[in-house]
Chain A
Amino acid sequence: DVVLTQTPVSLLISLGGQASISCRSSQSLVHSNGNTYLHWYLQKPGQSPQLLIYQVSNRFSGIPDRFSGSGSGTDFTLKISRVEPEDLGVYYCLQRTHNPRTFGGGTKLELK
């Protein structure tokens, strides 16, 4: 199975600051069709995960441009600029290139 390693496990950020989360894969996430199926989610307290970024760098419907994704192959990054209170929660990466699909262990974003 593909292992996704997220770092850091937790992140203390001030309101208005910038956060960066890494997701590293144990193997390339480039599909045979050329696409890379690496997605990012935010799970707010008491809620189900919500899609933020799909296929590395595409913001999902309604997601503000403060969220951006980048990377390729095995190394991926989610950046959150101008952190707001509603950005707090746990961030997960998910790969859907290989079966079984696998998630990263999560990164908890908290206010400093």
Chain B
Amino acid sequence: EVQLVESGGSLVQPGGSLKLSCVASGYTFSNYWMDWVRQTPGKSLEWIGEINTDGSKTNYAPSIKDRFTISRDNAKSTLYLQMSNVKSDDTAIYYCTVGPDYWGQGVMVTVSS
């Protein structure tokens, strides 16, 4: 059974940084592209970006480009999202996904002073 468990969510001040993790199990992590998606309090879904199987290629949504960085450690079956210079609009539930197929349960990030 595919499992994705996100962690690292918290309350962070505007301008601050945060790193989310997603531990995958139940499949061969290194064989699949991975994505981050977020869902705002208003329930809209927004794709953040993706990373290829060996971590050498990433694509990002223009809205977060240069503030967020996606990386992965295949030896640990773990996906990361480094968030910097966060804004109130970044308040959302953050999901990691295996391409379009499987989603984690999500982790809450709140940006507020």
B-side residues, CB < 8 A to A, are: 35, 43-47, 50, 59-62, 95, 99-106
- Closest residue of chain B to A106 (Cβ to Cβ) is B43
Top 9 nearest A-B pairs (CB, nearest first) are: A101-B47, A103-B45, A100-B61, A48-B103, A39-B100, A99-B59, A48-B106, A51-B101, A48-B105
Contact partner, B44, options A60, A94, A103, Cβ 8 Å? A103
Set of chain B residues within 8 Å of A102, measured between Cβ atoms: 47
Residues of A within 8 A of B104 (CB): 48
- Say what secondary structure dominates the interface of chain A: loop
> How many of A's residues come within 8 Å of B, CB to CB?
21
Please indicate the chain B residues that have their CB under 8 angstroms from the CB of A54 in the complex: 100-101
Contact partner, B100, options A47, A48, A90, A96, Cβ 8 Å: A96
A39 to B102, CA, bound (A): 12
Partner of A51, one of B46, B47, B100, B105: B100
Residue of B nearest to A90 (CB): B43
In the complex, what residues of A have CB within 8 A of residue B105's CB?
Answer: 47-48
Inter-chain contact A51/B102, CB cutoff 8 Å: yes
The answer to whether B95 touches A100 (Cβ under 8 A) is no
Q: Is B106 within 8 A of A92, CB to CB?
A: no
Q: Is the CB of A50 within 8 A of B100?
A: no
Residue of B nearest to A99 (CB): B59
A98 to chain B, nearest CB (A): 11
Given known pairs A39-B100, A96-B100, A100-B62, the reply for A48 and B46 (CB within 8 Å) is: no
A60: B residues at CB distance < 8 A: 101
